[in-house]
Chains A and B, each alone.
Chain A
């Protein structure tokens, strides 16, 4: 496999972000080990997407710093790729050319390989406008993978897809992440998606980390009773429903 990379080590140190008088993120500390998959969960407006934009270098923190393998993130890093909520394919480029945008130095062979990874090599010559929503998002994933990222940031990438396509995509992302060993950060409000994919789930409330829970379930993940337990655990925290009681009940 030519597209292979080892994940980045990411450290978030006392990062805060303020838009005018509104404090969106409050002195956040977070560490992602190389190759780890973490999910950042929170209600809309909690600041999770802002955090992801800071990690991507698309925005600058008001205070604190983000370190990538010990180096301060200062703008967009060539080893970091983002999968946006909407596929954001360029309508004026055919599928393969869209993927090629992600490949370093426009390497066509690498683009083709990435397209094979997501199973859409037969769509190479199509225009994005004829693809379904799920296919577009897979092309966007291929574009991100073509750059052999060491850190993949996923900004609610599956929220616009139907339930079945979403589960398919989750399995695809898990499998590719497993093979490629990049570090991954998924921002989502879908708790079951977070449990399906993440080694660790970080819950953000009002711009601060509320809890940080490891999810030691075996991979590939099955939607069994353990899965349901973690789902409920996170959901209870998210809804502030007095989680501790249910934790002890299920884990015993």
Chain B
């Protein structure tokens, strides 16, 4: 029960400022300080979302966007895991591949769009590939640095007990790299949400990114803001789920964060 109270207070503190902003926004809209044809009131946004939901369109848009993000996230993470382990563990492979990956990393997401359309057309494949590309880099980067940061003294424990090759990777390198892998997953997911917008703006007939462009071409700011808010909420929600998973998997960590949580407030 106490634990629930703590969580309640922590969550409540995070809500104070967003809720205040919405209240101010509402007051300004009602009093006419903000032109509602440019910035609709919060109530108008909510009713737009409710309307979209009633028409049955909204769930379809959210569903397809979530599908693209999760497929891209899984694909990007899988490739990052493969290359991260290979490059983190084998020096020769790292010397061969890492400079190239670092160079590709600096290409802005939108620069890939024309190429992906040309290669794969305006298809699900091109969208998912673009998202996977965005997810790949942070996951890869953090995994490699996590693997290379493994405590040599712990590795000696592995060697002394006859751990080599894959068993050494599985029991020593990977668990030790997990905290930094999770940092990578979370920033990868963030980039996944950024890239899905790029992917859906470049040509889609469904999805939250399509709603954005639709709102723009039909001159309905409420739809644009509604989609932005939905992006924010979905992004936060998925990040929260990932954080929960991370906290559970990394519960062995004896860190400042876990200490803080234990005696929170």
Contacts and interface: CB of A to CB of B under 8 A. Distances in A.
A and B associate: yes
B157 A76 contact: no
B159 interface: yes
Interface in B98-115: none
A56 B252 contact: no
Interface in B144-195: 153-154, 156-163, 171-172, 175-176, 178
B161 A147 contact: yes
Contact of B159 (A76, A86, A102, A128): A76
Contacts of B176: 92
A127 B252 contact: yes
Given A84-B153, A86-B153, A101-B171, A91 B161 contact: no
B252 A81 contact: no
Nearest to B163: A101
A88 B254 contact: no
Contacts of B175: 90, 92-93
A81 B163 CA distance: 13
B241 to A, nearest CB: 22
B254 A58 contact: no
Nearest to B157: A88
Contact of A58 (B154, B160, B162, B172): B160
A56 B161 CA distance: 11
Contacts of B171: 90, 101
A93 B172 CA distance: 10
B205 interface: no
Contacts of B159: 58, 76
Contacts of B156: 58, 84, 88
B47 interface: no
A91 B252 contact: yes
Main secondary structure of the interface of A (DSSP, over half): loop
A28 B185 CA distance: 52
Nearest to A53: B156
Contacts of B254: 91, 127, 129
A78 B172 contact: no
Contact of A91 (B158, B160, B162, B253): B253
A92 B178 contact: yes
A224 to B, nearest CB: 37
Nearest to B155: A88
Interface size class of A (residues with CB under 8 A): 20 to 34
Interface string B223-265: 0000000000000000000000000000111100000000000
A76 B160 contact: yes
B154 A76 contact: no
Given A78-B162, A127-B252, A147-B161, A90 B154 contact: yes
Contacts of A94: 252
Contacts of A92: 175-176, 178, 252
Contacts of B158: 101
Contact of B252 (A80, A101, A129): A129
A91 B252 CA distance: 6
Interface string A127-145: 1110000000000000100
Nearest to B153: A88
A91 B161 CA distance: 17
A102 B161 CA distance: 6
A185 interface: no
A82 interface: yes
Contact of B161 (A84, A86, A101): A101
Contact of A82 (B160, B178, B251, B253): B160
A157 B195 CA distance: 53
B233 to A, nearest CB: 33
Contacts of B157: 84, 88, 90, 101
Interface in B78-133: none
A90 B172 contact: yes
Q: Considering the complex of A and B, which 6 residue pairs feature the smallest CB-CB distances, nearest first?
A: A129-B254, A92-B175, A92-B252, A88-B157, A127-B252, A91-B252
12 contacts: A78-B162, A81-B161, A84-B157, A86-B153, A91-B253, A92-B252, A93-B252, A101-B158, A102-B161, A127-B251, A127-B252, A147-B161
Given A128-B252, A129-B254, 18 more contacts: A56-B160, A76-B159, A76-B160, A78-B162, A80-B160, A81-B160, A84-B153, A84-B156, A88-B156, A90-B172, A92-B176, A92-B252, A101-B157, A101-B161, A127-B251, A127-B252, A129-B252, A143-B161
